[in-house]
Each structure stands twice: as C-alpha cells, then as structure tokens.
Amino acid sequence: MVSKWNMIVDVERCNNCRACFLAVKDEHTGNDFPDYAAEQPPMGANWLDIERKERGRYPIVDAHFMPVMCNHCDDAPCMKVAKDGAIRKRDDGIVIIDPVKAKGQKEIVDACPYGAVSWNEELQLPQAWIFDAHLLDSGWNKTRAEQCCPTDVFKSVKVEDAQMQKMAADEGLEVLQPELGTKPRVYYKNMHFFNRCFVGGSVIATVDGVEECAADAEIILQQDGGELARATTDTFGEFKIDKLKPNSGSYQLEIIGTAGKLSQTFELGAESLYLGELRLV
C-alpha cells in the first residue's frame, strides 16, 4: 500500500491570526516553481483563506474560523474537465495543476465546487494550493502553513488510506461537503462550530423576593421522549448545549434548580438559538 498526504485542520484552534495565509503568499508570490506552480499574483488569489462563522446572539455568541484550501480530492471534479493532462493526481495523493498545460483552461476554475481554484488573469492560468509539494519533495515533512501556525491548527499526515480512514473515525474528522463525493484529503476537526447548532439560555430564580442568576441548575435536553444531553448553568445562570443538527425539529428542555423547575419546548431551525431568560417557578 502507498502512503499518501492528508491535512488535518482543527477549527477550534484557529484564531484568525492569518499567519498561514501570509505564509502561502510569501512562498508563492513572485516565486515560480516549474512543474509545480507558476507564481501567485499578489492580489485577488488566495490559495489558502480563512472563513468565519458566528453563532447565536447576545449574550451567548461564539465565533470561529476555518482555513480553506484545495482539498486534493481523490475524485476531483477539476480533473474531469481538464484537457491534455493539465491536472495530475500524484501517487502520494497531491493534485497538481500543470502550470504549462493548463494555460487558457478557465473551465477548471468553474469545475471546483469548493471555489478553491483561482484564475490568474495575467498568466491566463488556473491555480490552487499545491500542498507545498515542492517542499515535501525536497525533504520537508510539513507545509508552510503548519510550520508557521502558532496554535497548531494544521497537521500534515502521510499514511495509507485505511489508516487515515481509521484516524478520521476515531477522532471525529469531517470533510467539506461530503455529499459531493469528491473524496477530499483535507479533514476538519471540531467542524461542529461550522455545521452544527447550539441552544443556550439564561436561567433566573427568585430567592427571598430577589431575582438572581440560577447557578448550578441542571439542564436536560430531550427529543421524542429520549434524553440527548445534559448541562449545568454557570455562575451567571447561562448554559449552552452544542452539536445539534440544524433544522432538526422540536426539543424539550427540563431545567431543575434549587429554587424551582421549568419545562420549555422549542423548535430548532437553521441557526443556533438563544432562548432568552428562563425563570424557574
């Protein structure tokens, strides 16, 4: 079996410092690597970019960041439209858009469902992140993005496919838009910050005639009569239950505190939900 390159990206660790973005720019802007990639234009082409996702509403909100790049798909749509061998899939899994053969083939840009291929107008050339294949071929064991990242967002992994699939299952790794069937080699950890929802609320209790935050209240989330998750309110009476599927229907919330109880039913749509102030009675 052949070992192939994969990239693991931990969404939770990314703080949008953009060091990876700058590292890719530094490596490729003004630099030509024959057989790998022509130079990247200084403007208008981000081979590695950062997406942002905000969830919830005040006062329970979170924001996370996700580096995105060419996924080096095993069933790459760009390869299906490329002519004259303009795109090749290496034995180690890396996809290379040939900087000579691909000239003029703008359809390669449109074929990528992830928007990871950019068009170099000056060179009339489709281009994408090459997984730093030129560096790996010279003995490096990680990409520039991984090398420079201060929070260890990236992890370059070269293993056999079966081992990678086991790693993905064990660590809960996901790929972007798996329904496309493109078989990406970029895997994401803690992807729930982008593709799942949370429900949160602020629990209030009346003690001796005074309203106060209900700390340490027990929160029980149920659906269709079955328990899904539990949480405990913090010092401010707030709670958050995460990793719920968007548009997943009706839920029941049971809140039990020292100053009373409360039952709440809600409908979860496409976005995370803040239930507001919940008063125990």
Burial of 222 (0-12, 13-18, 19+ CB in 10 A): middle
Query: What mean pLDDT is predicted for residues 150-156?
Result: 98
pLDDT exceeding 90 applies to what percent of the chain? Answer: 97
Length of the chain: 281
Which residues belong to CATH 3.30.70.20 in the chain? Answer: 4-194
Asked whether residue 23 carries a pLDDT value surpassing 90, the answer given is: yes
What single-letter DSSP state applies at residue 85?
T
pTM, 2 dp:
0.93
The two tokens of residue 104 are: 């003029």
User: For residue 116, which amino acid is it?
Assistant: A
Q: Provide the CB-side half-sphere exposure for 188 (13 A, CA).
A: 21
In this predicted model, what pLDDT tens digit does every residue of 159-196 receive, in sequence order? Answer: 999 999 999 999 999 999 999 999 999 999 999 999 99
197-279 belongs to which homologous superfamily? Immunoglobulins (2.60.40.10)
Q: Residue 253: which pLDDT band, with cuts at 50, 70 and 90?
A: very high
Q: Residue 44: which pLDDT band, with cuts at 50, 70 and 90?
A: confident
The per-residue pLDDT for 1 is 78
The per-residue pLDDT for 215 is 97
The per-residue pLDDT for 255 is 98
Question: Which CATH number describes the domain made up of 4-194?
Answer: 3.30.70.20
Question: At a CB cut-off of 8 Å and minimum separation 6, what does 168 contact?
Answer: 174, 187
Query: What mean pLDDT is predicted for residues 107-126?
Result: 97
The per-residue pLDDT for 208 is 86
Asked whether residue 250 carries a pLDDT value surpassing 90, the answer given is: yes
Helices (H), 140-182: 144-148, 161-171
What single-letter DSSP state applies at residue 88?
E
Query: What mean pLDDT is predicted for residues 253-274?
Result: 96
In this predicted model, what pLDDT tens digit does every residue of 53-72 receive, in sequence order? Answer: 999 999 999 999 999 999 99
On the question of a cis peptide bond just before residue 59, with omega within 30 degrees of 0, the verdict is yes
In this predicted model, what pLDDT tens digit does every residue of 194-219 receive, in sequence order? Answer: 999 999 999 999 988 899 999 999 99
What does the mean pLDDT of the chain come to? 97
Which residues belong to CATH 2.60.40.10 in the chain? Answer: 197-279
H/E segment holding residue 48? strand 48-57
H/E segment holding residue 239? strand 238-244
